[in-house]
Structure 1
Amino acid sequence: MNERRVGIVMNGVTGRMGLRQHLERSIVAIREQGGIAAADGSMIIPEPILVGRNELKLRRIAEQYGLTRWTTDLSEALAEPDVEIYFDSQLTQLREKGVRAAVEAGKAIYCEKPIAEGLDAAVDLARLVRDSGLKNGVVQDKLSLPGLRKLKRLVDGGFFGRILSVRGEFGYWVFEGDWQEAQRPAWNYKQAEGGGIVVDMFCHWRYVLDQIFAPVRSVYCQGAVHIPTRWDEQGTEYAATAEDAAYGVFELEGGIIAQLNSSWTTRVFRDELVEFQVDGTEGSAVAGLRNCHAQHRSATPKPVWNPDLPVTEKFRDQWSVVPDNEVFDNGFKVQWEMFLRHVVDDAPFTWDFVEGAKGVQLAELGLQSWREGRKLEVPALSIEAGS
């Protein structure tokens, strides 16, 4: 069988997300399964070149996964003749420089969100890659989660009738780092280093709301630095300057109200780390990372409010399981396969840099809403110069 080998510069694989989700569970997994089928019947085989700032870490990662190509020199990697794709999962502060270098080298570009630190820079990058004519995409992995794909199936099938509201809870307790090691790097809690949960999560919420339910039309955000003192990876105490929780209310087109809480300072009493409840005139559903349960109007019980008596109903038992009906793969891997086919076969990939810029827009408006204490409209985003 013919093989179509595609060189991919992977910049930022020494980080947690770049290593686990993108390299190990996506690119290495695709290689181990023998690639993916192209339109002409050949097998697309990704050939990663690892790029980062720490030579020792790169060497160890390459050895762990049986890879031979790595470098600390991005220009050297982009100059390799087989390279067709540049992937970026660096710190957000470093992303713009890497993307511009890839555009200059004429490579297709796929990168993590947010695509830039601020909206102006995100729009500039979106305009740059559009004008270059290069294929481009931004990771929007939550859309490929099994639970949300089942939820989207219900939406597309008209299960909810008129959707009234979406309520989402995301988060877990991230240890402060003094008596137990923190699960997230210290930069997440430093404003000067691009930290903060608004920038991290509002980019996700934008595409989840826009593409599963309806476009976002307004935002009200209340952020908080609940834990003002933390300890970094070296055990050094530092002041947390970026918010560790954000409580958002979004109005969507058609009058749908979404309430989404994002927190690294909450202890989990849910079935999954993220859950969405959608209520509509004809039915409701609750979806997490993998599971989804639904309750139709015709099967909705009639609870009676009586605080003087103990609850005898098992409310969770009154919901039906939404079946898988398909085999679900890792969400990051699914989108990597789609982007590889986009590059090789010109297959559709709708999540481009304009969609990435929309996420940055919502995060920026969320932070502004918090500072000013008011609801803000979310205007249509244009990447045209002077607009």
Structure 2
Amino acid sequence: MTTTEEAVAAAERCTPEYRRDPHAVYARLREEAPVCPMRPPHGNETYLITRYEDARAALSDPRLSKDMYGAMDAYRRIFGDSSLALDDNMLNADPPKHTRLRRLVNSAFTPRRVESLRPRVEGIVEQLLDSCPAREPFDLLPAYAFPLPIVVICELLGVPPRERSRMQRLSTTVAQTGFDPESKRAQQKAEEDLHAFFTEIVAAKRTRPGDDLLSALIEVRDTDGDGGLTETELVSTAFLLMFAGHKTTAYLIGNAVHHLLSQPAQLRAVRDDPELIGPAIEELLRYDGSVESATFRYATEDVEYAGTRIPKGALVQIALSSANRDPLRFENPDAFDVTREGNAHLGFGHGSHYCLGAPLARLETELALTRLFDRFPRIALADPAAGPRWMEVPFPAFRGLAELPVVLDPAG
């Protein structure tokens, strides 16, 4: 990457080279254009924030709104009208609405409540590993990394087992479509189907409630007219918990396995000292976490960051992957070091929108990694020379692998 202009162009268009390794682009932007005006494919005026201190401040800046209805024209150009019914949730809200919605689901994701799930998550991990071939190359993502968080979040919500594969298929379409007309039509159809999917589940649970989070939210909706949820918020919240509750963790598990296998000294350090698994997960979140960019905000007034004026109405993208490699905040930031101390990364965001499911994501990743490497200490990449193949998506929300071929127990 030789010029700032080339770096901006690569980030705007999400070129294949950029998707494979965005960190070289981010390094130049942090140095020369830390708050960078962009014209991405959706056409909305957008500013990209890449330095750690600016990113951290922006994530909790009340002038940068998350209320999608305040930027409806921009929202429609990016996502279309089909997303509206699914996006009426805490992710796209400011206080007091955000505070109300988050309060209703917060109790399900407290550290104590999540820790009580450990035996069940361990059981799911073991079942998935039992089903994986030991001596043959296979893709770890669909066999292990994705099913684990899907089963966990579906059990929390109360999604019937027979419906889970359909839910995963639809959510994948929503996440991976582009800006061309055919992709947008596929995305719109998937969003409409997901809305119908959760509407049907809500109706079924009203008739026959269970011991699950969705049944509890329905009860609040039906009995608390002032502090509960609207019907649209209820369906949208179910979608948000499902979507955010499995995509981010699945890609994090995949990224983690790839980097640990690619850097054996780091894996050896964790295996020699199991107490390092916690710091290792935090380092993985910093070094190559699954959320590359925070969901968009928009400026409700003119604001200034790093000497750059962001005009009222402009969209703001906060590059978490860039902030987490900022040399002004982290020593030797491009090194993967599981013994790193003082790791105040932004992998789960910051401020009032800090990831609600962070405790659950940490638990799932911890158990997925420890049991995988304990049961299969000789696990190896199926073709190390081939290098990783990263997702090539048009909108850099997720950072994840397209595939992860491994052999659990290679002969000899």
Q: Normalising by structure 1, what TM-score?
A: 0.30
Higher RCO, Cα 8 Å, sep 6+: 2
Q: Whose radius of gyration is greater, 1 or 2?
A: 1
Greater share of residues in strand:
1
